[in-house]
Amino acid sequence: MSRLQADGLYKVFGRAPDEAVRRLAAGADRGELRADGTTAAVIDASFTVDPGQIFVVMGLSGSGKSTLLRMLNGLLEPTAGRVLFDGRDLTSLPARELRQVRATKISMVFQHFALFPHRSVLENAAYGLEVQGVPRAEREKRAVEALELCGLGGWAASWPDELSGGMQQRVGLARALATDADLLLMDESFSALDPLIRRDMQDQLLELQKRLKKTIVFITHDLNEAMRLGDRIAVMRDGRIVQLGSAEDILLRPEGEYVASFIQDVDRSRVLTAAAVMTEPERDGEGECDCPSVSPDTPVAEVCAVSARVPHPVAVRDADGNVAGTVPRERLVAFIGGQEPDDARPVPCAWAASASAKEAAHA
């Protein structure tokens, strides 16, 4: 069962929202409704998020990301549609039960994490547990563990203003993790950070996720961030999800001009991995030698570097060391050149044929 499911979600601000939903369902777009002073913030959003997945919602400012997120945690009531969390319909829960689910099962991490300046880092990290009424000794123990997970083990007794922006953001993450919530909702959580620190935070989140396997919905307007973090990515435009898929789907098979124009500047070789370009070994025993090999999640750019050093297709080995596939050099070159790897077909060449015939004769 999926952990989270959005089922035909709409959010309309303004007059006659139900009538607006009917018009949107019949194909009207945002622009048509705006003329009447009505804003269609989210239009017919449906998706599922599996346990342990990072689901990224990516879109430009105003595309409806935050509104969608606020419906997912029950802060905003949908105009139409349902949100199912572990199979329970959040939209029909009584207010008390909804508050209970929000306090214990869902944590939010915001862009500007407001830490309490007069509380220590430890007290800040323990705040969510304090709200839940967890006794002091227990909440401090869990907050210390969460701070350690976030690389802030030695900072528990410090004050927020002694921390850099990146560290403060990690306290926010620690606060979310300390509550043991299953679902983390992260709204542009790294957007205010400097690029290097932001990348560092992304790495840290991916590293943490390997161990904790939370279910995460991550909102961002940055496609590169979406590609790095997302197991699945929903691209939003003007309130609608215009594509839903993996980074690979979006880069290799963009649906429509809008998504295609979005991905133009993405460095495919750093986003896509060996798994996206590998193929079945063509010859017996291919990949079985001791030459350098790569793992399925090695970025293509690094596969190129390995390919330059080995005299045959690069072996892709899974976690058990078995050959999952191989990457011939021509597939890499085709891919870097913007083609589908499967289109890597050398044209017949008389010179090359005679050169290899001569080499064979000399051998």
Ligand X SMILES: Nc1ncnc2c1ncn2[C@@H]1O[C@H](COP(=O)(O)OP(=O)(O)OP(=O)(O)O)[C@@H](O)[C@H]1O
- Where do contacts with ligand X occur on this chain (CB under 6 A)? 13, 39, 41, 59, 61-67, 221
- The two tokens of residue 82 are 């349902």
Pick between residue 147 and residue 219 the one whose CB is nearest to ligand X: 219
Pick between residue 66 and residue 326 the one whose CB is nearest to ligand X: 66
**DSSP strand E in the chain: where?**
4-13, 39-49, 54-59, 80-85, 88-89, 106-109, 183-187, 215-220, 232-237, 240-245, 314-317, 323-327
Closest CB 56 distance from ligand X, rounded Å: 13
d(CA 322, CA 303): 17
**DSSP strand E in 171-225: where?**
183-187, 215-220
Closest CB 11 distance from ligand X, rounded Å: 8
Closest CB 97 distance from ligand X, rounded Å: 25
How, if at all, do strands 240-245 and 232-237 pair? antiparallel
Closest CB 236 distance from ligand X, rounded Å: 7
Pick between residue 4 and residue 58 the one whose CB is nearest to ligand X: 58
Distances (CA, A) of 154 to 141, 169, 176, 180, 199: 14, 16, 19, 21, 22
Closest CB 268 distance from ligand X, rounded Å: 25
Pick between residue 191 and residue 204 the one whose CB is nearest to ligand X: 191
Pick between residue 62 and residue 296 the one whose CB is nearest to ligand X: 62
Closest CB 4 distance from ligand X, rounded Å: 18
Is 311 strand, coil or helix?
Answer: coil
Residue the block writes with tokens 């002073």: 37
Is 332 strand, coil or helix?
Answer: helix
Contact 271, 247 (CB under 8 A): yes
In terms of DSSP H, where are the helices of 55-163? 65-72, 95-105, 121-125, 127-132, 136-149
Contact 246, 240 (CB under 8 A): no
Pick between residue 59 and residue 245 the one whose CB is nearest to ligand X: 59
Phi, psi (deg, nearest 5) at residue 41 = -75, -40
Closest CB 66 distance from ligand X, rounded Å: 3
Closest CB 13 distance from ligand X, rounded Å: 3
How, if at all, do strands 39-49 and 183-187 pair? unpaired
3-state percent helix, strand, coil for the chain, nearest multiple of 5: 45, 20, 35
Pick between residue 17 and residue 313 the one whose CB is nearest to ligand X: 17
- The two tokens of residue 196 are 């290097």
Distances (CA, A) of 312 to 46, 274, 283, 339, 353: 45, 15, 11, 21, 19
Closest CB 20 distance from ligand X, rounded Å: 12
Pick between residue 64 and residue 287 the one whose CB is nearest to ligand X: 64
Pick between residue 51 and residue 62 the one whose CB is nearest to ligand X: 62
